[in-house]
A = this chain, B = another copy of it.
Amino acid sequence: MHFSKRGHDVHALDNYLRRRAHREQATDSLIPILESLPARAKAWKEVAGLDVGVTEDNICEYEVVERLVQQFEPDTIIHYGEMPSAPYSHKTREHAAFTQYNNVVATLHVLFAMAEHAPDAHLVKLGTMGEYGTPNIDIEEGFIQVHHNGRSDTLPYPKQPGSWYHLSKVHDSHNIQFASRIWGTRATDLNQGVVYGIETEETKLDPRLATRFDYDEVFGTALNRFCLQAVIGHPLTVYGRGGQTRGYLNIVDTMRCVELAALNPPAQGEYRVFNQFTEQFSIVELAELVQKAGAEYGLPVEVEHLDNPRVEREEHYYNAAHTKLLDLGLEPHFLSETLIESMLGIIEKHRERVIPELIRPKTRWRAVRERQPALE
């Protein structure tokens, strides 16, 4: 919708993987997502008068990608078509293998279809800031100049991802970079931070155009979940000590970042990485912000520290570069109490749909056997 409204000719492909994964996990979006992709395109046509083509199919079948690339002849391929959840990838061995198979093969198919049928197109791929982990040095945008034993080279930034899901994105990054090298593919890898917020200008236009809002332990993310917990009177569930610091961005900025990447394609054969976030917060900082905004809104908010279900550092250095999108013109919408309060208002409207049992973490990284490793 964002691109369609700005005059681009858009075709969307979806196989409803997330909807199926939600059904499998007996979870659901707070904001109801009821319509099919064609029905949503029809609603967009009614509301905005614009056509968006749609295909309901799976890019793990190469013929699907190939046919669409041949027929549509894209200038830009925005690839969001992956399993998106770290906890989901840790549910069982099958979920881990599925996540890596699905994401790696889907991306290989996109790369091969581009090389075969759209060699001048630009791939905009959704990566994640989670690919970097939490190194004890500054995080750069994809590459780092390393000085070593009197020599130096600019090398891919070393990756220390924290889940089977995040690993799948690291595998993709290596594969995409290689495709640029051998075939001259143009590619932008958007290493996205945690997205918060509920609405964009387009999703607001009609309930059928809404985007999902996940708050459950499998698909939900920190700030969104905290806002929901504040509304329903559930303590904010901080994993461990809560010193985990990450990059965050508003959903509105997400769309603008993808647009900026698409409007400014890299050279043929160039693989570039943008760190796509606008601010860093630790989990306890977010909890405090929500507590404060809740107070303004008239909600008493408590914070509860849970045993961390993940294996991650709870106190660590974190300083990640994120200037490339600003250089292209991104004007960030920073997190404010006002925004949090407006989120609280929207959540309030749907509060009868909340299933509180879905919030607390059940998926444990050490599961299989609950062993304590000797090293960390």
Residues of A within 8 A of B (CB): 62, 93, 96-97, 100-101, 104-105, 108-109, 112, 115-116, 119, 135-138, 144, 146-149, 151-153, 155-162, 164, 167, 170-171, 174-175, 178, 180-185, 267-270, 311, 317, 365-366, 368-369, 371-376
A92 — nearest CB in chain B belongs to which residue? B112
Q: From residue A240, how far is it (CB to closest CB) to chain B in Å?
A: 15
Contact residues in B for A181 (Cβ distance below 8 Å) = 311, 373, 375-376
Instruction: Jot down 14 A-B pairs with beta carbons below 8 A, ordered by A.
Output: A97-B108, A100-B105, A101-B105, A115-B371, A137-B151, A144-B158, A146-B146, A146-B148, A158-B158, A164-B175, A267-B375, A268-B373, A269-B374, A269-B375
Q: From residue A157, how far is it (CB to closest CB) to chain B in Å?
A: 7
- Whether B151 lies near A311 (C-beta < 8 A) is no
Select A138's contact among B104, B151, B162, B269, beta carbons within 8 Å.
B151
- Whether A149 lies near B137 (C-beta < 8 A) is yes
Query: Cα distance A183–B367 when bound, in Å?
Result: 8
A112 touching B151 in the complex, CB below 8 Å, given contacts A93-B62, A167-B178, A374-B269? no
Contact residues in B for A175 (Cβ distance below 8 Å) = 100, 164, 167
Contact residues in B for A368 (Cβ distance below 8 Å) = 112, 115-116, 183
Q: From residue A203, how far is it (CB to closest CB) to chain B in Å?
A: 35
Q: From residue A92, how far is it (CB to closest CB) to chain B in Å?
A: 9
Select A371's contact among B119, B137, B160, B369, beta carbons within 8 Å.
B119
Select A148's contact among B144, B156, B185, beta carbons within 8 Å.
B144
Query: Cα distance A275–B157 when bound, in Å?
Result: 21
Query: Cα distance A164–B175 when bound, in Å?
Result: 8
- Whether A167 lies near B174 (C-beta < 8 A) is yes
Query: Cα distance A182–B309 when bound, in Å?
Result: 11
A311 touching B182 in the complex, CB below 8 Å, given contacts A100-B108, A158-B155, A174-B159? yes
Closest 4 CB pairs of A and B: A184-B373, A269-B373, A136-B153, A155-B158
Contact residues in B for A317 (Cβ distance below 8 Å) = 151
- Whether B155 lies near A160 (C-beta < 8 A) is yes
Query: Cα distance A146–B248 when bound, in Å?
Result: 26
Query: Cα distance A167–B374 when bound, in Å?
Result: 29
Contact residues in B for A152 (Cβ distance below 8 Å) = 136-137
- Whether A146 lies near B144 (C-beta < 8 A) is yes
Contact residues in B for A153 (Cβ distance below 8 Å) = 135-137
Contact residues in B for A180 (Cβ distance below 8 Å) = 373, 375
A158 touching B171 in the complex, CB below 8 Å, given contacts A101-B104, A153-B137, A373-B183? no
- Whether A366 lies near B108 (C-beta < 8 A) is no
- Whether B375 lies near A183 (C-beta < 8 A) is no
Contact residues in B for A93 (Cβ distance below 8 Å) = 62, 108-109, 112
